[in-house]
Structure 1
Amino acid sequence: MSIDKKVVDYSVYLVTDSSLVPESSSLVRQVEEAIRGGATIVQLREKEAETRDFIEIGKKIHELTRKAGIPLIINDRLDVVLALDAEGIHVGQDDMDIPTIRKHLGPEKIIGVSVSNIEEARQARVDDVDYVGIGAVFGTQTKNLKKSPMGTGGVSEILMVLNDDEEEEQSASGETNGNKLARRIQSVAIGGINQSNAESVIKESFSAHDHLDGVAVVSCIIGAEDAFKATKQLKETVVEALDIMKSRTIRELLAATTYMVAAVAETSPFVHHMTNTVVTNFSANMTITVGASPAMSECVEEFDDFAKIPNSSLLINMGTATFEGLARFQAGMKAYYKQNRRVVLDPVGAGASQHRKNVLQQLLELGGFAVIKGNEGEITAAAGVEGAKVRGVDSVGSESIEKRFEIVEKLASTTGSVVLMTGEEDVLVHHDKKNTRKLLFRNGHEYLSKITGSGCVLGSLVTAFSACFEDAFLATGAALLLYTIASERAVETGRVHGPGSFVPALIDQIYQISQESQNRDSSWISRAKVYPY
């Protein structure tokens, strides 16, 4: 059998250990069931086996992998690879060097190596291996660890350099590899990974420009009473997580979010609210919670002074849409645009009346909004699409996801703004000359729809984040993730018994996440349910 190593699927990488096999089964049977359940590559790792026994068991397992069209990798033993004509070999840092192995196996065989730090990852690039096993991520009983587990943060650090095309030679004498990376090196995480943590490992182990290609597992399949079921469950989890993390836009957002939350607290942007009277206190508290500085003012005489404050931004909330308010909105926009500051528009109740539609139209004609944020009815009205389903200032009913993206893209395209449509599922789009970025978010607790001003205070967060960062798309996505994930955590505290007790718990959790982010704890972001579209 000939396998093209350029298209090998590393998503569920099974490593064997005969000592873990249940009494009711055999190693061959466990591997067979695992392959049937979706294992995509098998490594035969039998440290205690004699050469003859190793080869005999290898023949049986190779027959299974050949039939399934997946590679068989042999751990450490070059002689066994040659005897079986297996598809590849995996070695550790203390085993035979890669150039010697390549010389014996030729260019078509797969060579993988274990790496546990940045220096080993860079050497793997120099040696031009096909994949690396990164770990150990967590503690494991299947291998005696010489080093402490690296955690997902350690995996991320390795991924930052593993396929970094920006790392070039430092001198002609060869201080580094002397060439840019010719091709991408695949990667799997290993060490204590199982069905319960595989998703979080994949979602937490990434860099802005790279991601894992799979997870390597041992005991959770080899030791399972039902290896087929265990593998199938793992495969479904891993494939869904990998599909999400293959999106560079998502990786950039998740990589930036924790940093942005911390940076907002450290920068303390000034957020000027021109908002409705119903939410002033809630909005001010929410702004303070993330470390920003709020001001609620519709006094035209102080707009110019406010706009000159470093890291200032303006939120225009149309909740109180009087003719006098329109004039103040326009004056505020002009003051902030004069200082090249960000302005965010929340077209509250835009489709509720003809008057509000007129106010919105005049604001859009002045233009220049960094972000436009609203519910489905508001964004539909802003996009000039007929059929906005509203009752007063509330949006009722919902279009299909496809239709919602179509509406948001229309507004983003015509205004040049980042557009966020909130709802049970949140839609975020930015359209520019180079590309269109589109994401779908599914975080958030239902209590957000049962309190006054939930959308308005999200506008406060979006404005605070937009003041600090040039990329308003990522800033808006980060603010949204902070808000919606905090809402889920608030209910999980056990102190929430309804919408009334939800609000203080929500504020507490946003503060808590801000503190965690400032302490470089990014584990909360693994809860993100964000998808490419």
Structure 2
Amino acid sequence: MDLSLSLLPVGKPYLEALEQALIGGVTIVQIREKVADTAEFLQIAQESKALCDRYNVPLLVNDRIDIALAINAHGVHLGQSDMPVDIARKLMPKGSIIGISCNSLDDVRRARQSKADYVGLGAVWDTQTKKLTSPPIGVRGLGVLLEALDGSDIPATRLLHGSVSSTSHALDGVAVVSDIVASPNPETAARRLKSIFKACKRCILDSSAPTSVWSRGEILDNVTTIMDGVRNLNPLVHQMTNNVVSTQSANITLAVGASPIMATAPEEMSDLSKLSNGLLVNIGTLVSGSVQGMLRGGYFVNAAKNPVVLDPVGVGASDFRKASVNELLNAWQPTVIKGNAGELAALAGSGEATSKGVDRQLARKERCIVVLTGETDYVSDGKRVLMLKNGHPLLGKITGSGCMLGSVITAYCAAANALESDDDEHEGKLTRGGDFLSAAVGA
């Protein structure tokens, strides 16, 4: 077998990496081989099956039903161009697991009709692991496919990377390759990903639970704690913001007790995500060259599990702005989306935004906090809506008050995140309703 393009770290044998991943908590293994001849693949599959049996973990074979039968695998995973599910069902032993990859609504409908045991959705993002036969579906595309599974009991996994969607049919698992096998320590990588996914599942359960009603006193207590946190922790707030008000945005950040850093170069995003405590993405003076920096910035800050605040300034003004914001939201998870009624309406594809409408709907759809600004401000986590009557006619007479608000929200979210960073209950969560709702209200 040619290992020149192996995902394994240098010097780490495949079976050693597999065993470490199993020790780390991997719950199912799929083996895929498109290069080796049948005899070589059979040997790999037999050794993999023996190892998985030792840890009582099911083993699936990608595509090759003959190999699956030869090693008595627990099942097979099929692609859209492979053998149909119903024929594979006839060939495999009774009780075998048969899954199928789905990249479109038609794929999902066929999977439901054929009664596949599970579906693999994606790939969600581009990958170097293999050559994709279909374009990545993105975060929002994942949500569309999950909605198509509503009403069925077919488990869904997300291929290559993992997070949760905002639909009622939540993900049941994530299918990961390089994040584990290309890691120097597959056991640690598997444990980390399992912890993150468990936290994401708790988010789904939390979102379906009855919502507690906050008293005015509780809200003020939470806000006071976060305000003190900003002053005491002095979070570093990375801002990719409107050039017209970058100075004002930096100054307001300093005024509330945080520290600003203003940078837009895509090449810096990975390094800055390791230093900053939160990111503001404001598209007020959007140019084509800045989108890549925003994409990378949000991606790396998500990976660092720090808050991302999106201010889609003037998103309805041009197709370029709409397309850019959609690209951003398809690439990373915002913690807060802040905008006026027109901006949120354009983002939601609605004619208007009201306190009982788009803000709540958009918060549910994007699984984040939504701040609707105006004479009266509304803050929603998708279930609760808080109304703030802090508006003043003079705010409409100056430039940048909304942009500066985005800076303050990001600073408060950064502090809220830091205050809870040592709490295991929040491990892996990119959004936490109560914490960040309080942060948005306080700002």
TM-score by length of 1: 0.44
What letter is aligned with 2:106?
A: E
Q: CA deviation at 1:89?
A: 0.2
| 2:115 aligned with 1:217 | no
CA distance in 2, matches of 1:373, 1:480: 19
Change (3 A) 1:38 1:128: same
Change (3 A) 1:142 1:508: closer
Change (3 A) 1:130 1:467: closer
CA distance in 2, matches of 1:153, 1:504: 27
Q: CA deviation at 1:395?
A: 8.1
Query: CA deviation digits over 1:168-217, x for unaligned, max 9?
Result: xxxxxxxxxxxxx4xx11111114x3xxxx4xxx23x331x211112111
Question: 2:25 matched to which residue of 1?
Answer: 38
| 2:60 aligned with 1:73 | yes
Kept in 1, the 8 Å contact 2:369–2:433? The answer is no
CA distance in 2, matches of 1:69, 1:54: 22
| 2:88 aligned with 1:98 | no
Change (3 A) 1:139 1:478: closer
What letter is aligned with 2:433?
A: V
Query: CA deviation digits over 1:399-453, x for unaligned, max 9?
Result: xxxxxxxxxxxxxxxxxxxxxxxxxxxxxxxxxxxxxxxxxxx9899xxxxxxxx
Question: 1:375 matched to which residue of 2?
Answer: 217
Kept in 2, the 8 Å contact 1:122–1:161? The answer is yes
| 2:166 aligned with 1:206 | yes
Which runs of 5 or more residues in structure 1 are unaligned? Answer: 1-15, 166-180, 254-370, 379-388, 397-441, 446-460, 486-501, 513-525
Query: CA deviation digits over 1:282-333, x for unaligned, max 9?
Result: xxxxxxxxxxxxxxxxxxxxxxxxxxxxxxxxxxxxxxxxxxxxxxxxxxxx
Residue number among 185, 200, 209 corresponding to 2:154 in the alignment = 185
Change (3 A) 1:98 1:484: closer
CA distance in 2, matches of 1:217, 1:137: 11
Question: 2:270 matched to which residue of 1?
Answer: none
Kept in 2, the 8 Å contact 1:376–1:395? The answer is no
Change (3 A) 1:471 1:377: closer
Question: 1:528 matched to which residue of 2?
Answer: 431
Change (3 A) 1:73 1:246: farther
Kept in 2, the 8 Å contact 1:17–1:222? The answer is no
CA distance in 2, matches of 1:67, 1:223: 23
Displacement over 3 Å in runs of 4+: 442-445, 464-472, 477-485, 502-506, 508-512
Query: CA deviation digits over 1:471-515, x for unaligned, max 9?
Result: 99x89x999653599xxxxxxxxxxxxxxxx98655346999xxx
Kept in 2, the 8 Å contact 1:18–1:46? The answer is no
Question: 1:407 matched to which residue of 2?
Answer: none
Kept in 2, the 8 Å contact 1:71–1:87? The answer is yes
Query: CA deviation digits over 1:106-135, x for unaligned, max 9?
Result: 441100101000010010000101111111
What letter is aligned with 1:26?
A: P
Change (3 A) 1:531 1:221: farther
What are the residue-to-residue correspondences of 1:246-265 with 2, within 5 Å?
Answer: 246-247=205-206, 249=208
Question: 1:230 matched to which residue of 2?
Answer: 189
Question: 1:507 matched to which residue of 2?
Answer: 405
Change (3 A) 1:229 1:511: closer
Question: 2:334 matched to which residue of 1?
Answer: none
Q: CA deviation at 1:136?
A: 1.3
CA distance in 2, matches of 1:151, 1:229: 27
Change (3 A) 1:55 1:245: same
What letter is aligned with 2:197?
A: V
CA distance in 2, matches of 1:106, 1:96: 16
| 2:43 aligned with 1:56 | yes
What RMSD over aligned residues (CA atoms) do the two structures have, in Å?
4.4
Kept in 2, the 8 Å contact 1:133–1:188? The answer is yes
Kept in 2, the 8 Å contact 1:43–1:72? The answer is yes
Amino-acid identity (%): 30
Which runs of 5 or more residues in structure 2 are unaligned? Answer: 226-305, 310-340, 342-352, 372-378, 382-399, 411-428, 436-443
Kept in 1, the 8 Å contact 2:101–2:122? The answer is yes
Question: 1:87 matched to which residue of 2?
Answer: 74
Rg comparison, structure with higher value: 1
What letter is aligned with 1:185?
A: I
CA distance in 1, matches of 2:166, 2:367: 17
Kept in 1, the 8 Å contact 2:359–2:380? The answer is no
